[in-house]
Structure 1
Amino acid sequence: MNIIGIIASQRKEGNTAFIVNKILEGAEEQGAEIKSFSFSDLNIKPCLGCWACHKSKQGCVIDDDMQKIYDAIEHVHAIVLGSPIYMGQMSAQGKIFTDRLFARFSPRFSPFFKENAVKQKLILSFNQGNPDAGLFKPYIDYTKHMFEVLEFDVKEVPVITGLRNGPAREREDLPMVLKNFGSSLVSK
């Protein structure tokens, strides 16, 4: 099984990176091949809304690092997308990634154009400073539903809270919980 992680944060060693990497670590321990992409290392531009990806089989015409992710997406069984919550929703990097998935539904990528396509599994992970896990529930539920409409099999939507009190890496309760999410991707 191949799994990629998308770290939709500019903080190279921040909470989102820790969370996504622990989930991937759990999958790797179960035999999955993993790879992660961090926005701190990538140059990904916003979608132009040009529809070139739908007008031909070449895919997205923007020549940036999203091309690496498109290539990886074609060969994975699961994706772990992690984003901090800023201003009540995913980060700008998470939104850019999500918007650029529009090209995925062109004839080049879309499961609608492939016979017997299997939905890719997705763990959609959010983290926030506020300790109230329900604070942004309507947005999180909306985002989960959006990915389901995009033909992803959303397996888990962990929301890691209370990170104003200290970084995720210092919380003793998190590593095993996060690794279990990754393990479940392989075993389900």
Structure 2
Amino acid sequence: MNIIGIIASPRKEGNTAFIVNKILGGAKEQGAETSAFSFGNLHIEPCCGCWSCHRSQQGCVIEDDMQKIYDAIERADAIVLGVPIYMGQMSAQGKIFTDRLFARFSPRFSPFFNDHAVKQRLILSFNQGNPDANLFKVYTDYTKQMFEVLEFEVSEVPIVTGLRNEPAHSKKDLDMSLKKFGSSLVLASC
């Protein structure tokens, strides 16, 4: 099983990276092949709305590091998308990633849509400073539904809270619970 992680945060080694890497670690312990892409190390432009991706079979015309992610998505059985919540929504990096999926996963337009006979599984992980996991529930539920419309099978939506004053790596028991999400991705496919 091949699982990729997308760290949609500007921080290379912040909470989102910790969370995604722990989930991937749990999958790797079950024998999965894993890799991660961190927006802190990538140059990815926002969608320019040119619609070239829908006028031909070439896909997105923007030549940047998103091309690497497109290739990895094509080979992946599952994706772990880690997104911090900024101002009640996903980070700018998460939005850029989501918008750039338009070239590959747009049901009414894309020549690439329905290339996957089996839906790709997705863990959609959010993290936030606020301790109330339900504070942005309307938004996290909406985002989950949006990925389901794009024909991902959203298997889990973990929300790691209270990170304003205590970083993820210092939270007791978080390490094991995150690894369980990764393990479940692999075990559910067996």
* Aligned-pair CA distance for 1:9: 0.5
Larger displacement relative to structure 2 (85-94 or 116-125): 116-125
Distance in 2 (CA, whole Å) between partners of 1:26 and 1:60 is 33
Distance in 2 (CA, whole Å) between partners of 1:181 and 1:169 is 16
Q: Which residue of 1 aligns with 2:170?
A: 170
Larger displacement relative to structure 2 (162-171 or 57-66): 162-171
Distance in 2 (CA, whole Å) between partners of 1:77 and 1:50 is 29
Distance in 1 (CA, whole Å) between partners of 2:28 and 2:143 is 26
Displacement over 4 Å in runs of 4+: none
Distance in 1 (CA, whole Å) between partners of 2:62 and 2:101 is 12
- Gapped runs of 5+ residues in structure 1? none
Letter in 2 for 1:130: N
Percent of counterpart pairs with the same letter? Answer: 77
- Gapped runs of 5+ residues in structure 2? none
Letter in 2 for 1:132: D
How many aligned residue pairs are there?
A: 184
SS for the counterpart of 2:99 is: helix
Distance in 2 (CA, whole Å) between partners of 1:118 and 1:51 is 26
Distance in 2 (CA, whole Å) between partners of 1:155 and 1:65 is 27
Distance in 2 (CA, whole Å) between partners of 1:185 and 1:8 is 20
Q: Which residue of 2 aligns with 1:100?
A: 100
Q: Which residue of 2 aligns with 1:154?
A: 154
SS for the counterpart of 2:124 is: strand
Equivalent residue runs for 1:64-103 within 5 Å: 64-103=64-103
Deviation digits for residues 1-39 of structure 1 (CA, Å, limit 9, x no counterpart): 000000000111100000000000000000000000000
Deviation digits for residues 37-85 of structure 1 (CA, Å, limit 9, x no counterpart): 0000000000011111111111100000000000001000000000110
Distance in 2 (CA, whole Å) between partners of 1:155 and 1:187 is 12
Normalised TM-score (structure 2): 0.95
* Aligned-pair CA distance for 1:110: 1.4
Q: Which residue of 1 aligns with 2:113?
A: 110
| Structural RMSD (CA) | 0.8
Q: Which residue of 2 aligns with 1:138?
A: 138
* Aligned-pair CA distance for 1:165: 2.3
Normalised TM-score (structure 1): 0.96
Distance in 2 (CA, whole Å) between partners of 1:164 and 1:96 is 24
Q: Which residue of 1 aligns with 2:125?
A: 125
